[in-house]
Amino acid sequence: MNQTNYIILKLLLQQPLEEKEILKYLNLNLFTLKKAIIQLNNKLKSLNLPTIEYINNIYQIRLSKSQKEFFYSSCSEYSQEQRCIYLTLKLLINKTLNLEYEKGQLNISRPTIDRDIAIVKNNLIEKNLFIISKKWEGLFLNIKNENNYYEHICEILIVLYSEYRYLPGVLKTFLVTLEQCEVEHLVSEFFDIYDEFNIQMGNISLRYFLALNVCFNLPLNFYLSKVLDYIKTINKDTQFQNIHNTIITKFHLKDDYALYVSMNVYETLYKKFCLENYYKPKIEAYCKYFNLNLTNENYYLLELFLYVSNFRYKHNLYEVKNIYLRSSFDKILLNHLVNFLKNINIYIFYGDLLELLDFTKFFLLTTNINNNKNILILKKDINIVYFSNLEHKLKLIYPNFSFDIKPYSYIYILKEANKTYDLVLSDIVIDIDLEYKLCQVNTSLTTLINEYLIEDILNTIK
């Protein structure tokens, strides 16, 4: 199964998708998509499994958990990317590789595995790790940088744990052999710790923890010196000490490993790798472009999002996001984001781009919601009790806004009322020319007000 088919099926197993959505997620043309669907259905039919259906412009497939496991365990054809991940991880773990044996495992020819190894070799050189070939003995790993060695193992394992449900045959089998205890048990215990200390946990953090579980069963010491100084700076913190003691008790870990896991829980994977130094100038450029003033909490939220999105893009970890373009302003803002990200050399998938769109709308509103605005709401029928309550609710959301709720007839004396408005909202069509921004109420008032604010802000962006 080639990589495109693999990703299409993975997306559809997450949820049904419109044809145009799949094209955007994968940046495909329609011909390639239809060809992939035919190939996938042929494979599914050969295994007597339900096929992908196309109903009302929506592709969908329903497979039970056991059917999914059967499908992926039956896959004996691997994409080049999957083969290279498998060969890299096996070489890193075992420090040696027998190509004759592995080509049989992967069901490929000698020229094919030679091409794969060439790719693996070039990727490892970037990490200061080298492959040495010994005649009649096989391939051996020469580790010039121990830190890079463990970082690379962790990175690959995080990817594999992210794709765990969708791993084909040999990849999943090899990963299972590395696990020293039940993954579900580890995950359950780890969740309990996060709940106990009221700490938010991202999926990348969880997968990093699972990767560490593999790394610490390897013979070499993990690069403890790299973070010892940092650990000393937080070692006096009471919460860190409590977390550390809890982890040692729950998992019966040796102290070096426990320190890493404790720090992972305390600060999360992202802070530990000091990613703020990489993303800080990019976030500052983002704030300048959209004229934003982010709180520390929102700044950190954006930092984590950019890291995870970039990680997913780098490793082809596609995820479906239940976010849709709701208005013309969404499309305008999306175009701004596409151009901005291109200028700062950050690449993310379409699903993450939609999530960033939602983040940006939230940041724009929270930054500008304290501006003073005068809004007139015209209603065909006025109920004093209801609308006094409405005004109170609107003031809670927009504390610095001034709201006038008037009967529709007020429109005829508006020009003589000696009061200006930034926005006029009416629940019926207004056929009189006004100099104010006008919207007909066909959805919630807060949605219209928010759209107006975003439009107003977008007009200031060059």
Give the β-pairing of 96-97 and 58-60: unpaired
Q: Give residue-wise pLDDT tens across range 210-247.
A: 676 666 555 434 433 334 444 445 455 666 666 666 76
pLDDT at residue 391 greater than cutoff 80: no
Of 47-61, 136-150, 441-455, where does mean pLDDT reach its minimum? 441-455
How many CA atoms does the CB half-sphere of 24 hold within 13 Å?
A: 15
What is the rounded distance in angstroms from the CA atom of residue 163 to the CA atom of residue 167? 6
Q: Give residue-wise pLDDT tens across range 15-40.
A: 899 998 899 888 889 999 999 999 99
The mean of the pLDDT values for the chain is: 77
Q: Are 397 and 349 in contact (CB under 8 A)?
A: no
Q: Give residue-wise pLDDT tens across range 405-459.
A: 777 777 777 766 667 777 777 776 655 555 555 555 555 677 777 777 777 777 7
Dump the DSSP string for 105-166.
HHT--HHHHHHHHHHHHHHHHHTTEEEEEETTTEEEEEES-HHHHHHHHHHHHHHHHHTGGG
Q: Are 304 and 327 in contact (CB under 8 A)?
A: no
Picking from 93, 255, 220, the residue whose alpha carbon sits closest to that of residue 147 is 220
Q: Give residue-wise pLDDT tens across range 257-306.
A: 555 555 555 554 344 444 556 788 888 999 998 888 888 778 877 887 88
Whether this model's pTM surpasses 0.75:
no
pLDDT at 439: 54
Higher model confidence: residue 317 or residue 103? 103
Angle at 235 between CA 231 and CA 239, to 5 degrees: 120
Main-chain phi, psi angles of 166, to 5 degrees: -115, 10
What is the rounded distance in angstroms from the CA atom of residue 90 to the CA atom of residue 82? 12
pLDDT at residue 115 greater than cutoff 90: yes
